[in-house]
Amino acid sequence: MSADPFARFQEWYGEAERRGSPLPEAMTLATATADGRPSARTVLFKGLDERGFLFFTNYQSRKGLELAENPRAALVFHWHGDPRRQVLVQGRVEKVSREESRAYFDSRERGSRIAASISRQSRPIASRQALEQQFAAAEARLGDRVELPDWWGGYVLAPESFEFWESRPSRLHDRIRFTRRENGWKQEFLAP
């Protein structure tokens, strides 16, 4: 396995895809308010580059508001199989450019773009029926071109640490933590 945490993540992610793990791109995103009240939810991983881990969402959602108050977060990937594996990534989060958000938004299927344009994510709604009526009205009104809403876009989490966990017999699991240093990554083995 690679001593570079980015490369190691790519190896594990690729193996999860090849093994047919269900939704290998599903990751738990943990955020917290400025005063430390945590929350977590599952979002979809949309890419990894030299900046970090990419995901997209509504900036006015609970997670978006929490990231505006406290731009630090954690991601957890968990893949079932043999062996079971988990990767925890912690770091600072920043919005991506409007152009990058628009390129991804335009690649989504039309229904998803319409849903993003009408949803006031995390806010109460009158009913499921009211939401479906709002969607149908927008679907009829918008045509083929659905514009990127001002409140929707991407984030990138720049890793400050990675922790790789792999199941082993007798609960003697492997845990390896990488912590970013000025001159690279410090690697430590952790007790299970």
- The amino acid present at 123, given as its one-letter code, is R
Axis crossing angle, helix 110-118 with helix 128-142, rounded to the nearest 10 = 120
Closest CA to 29 of 62, 76, 64: 76
**171 has catalytic annotation:** yes
E-strand ranges in the chain read 26-32, 38-44, 47-48, 53-58, 72-79, 85-95, 152-166, 174-181, 184-189
Catalytic residue among 171, 177, 180, 181: 171
Catalytic residues: 171
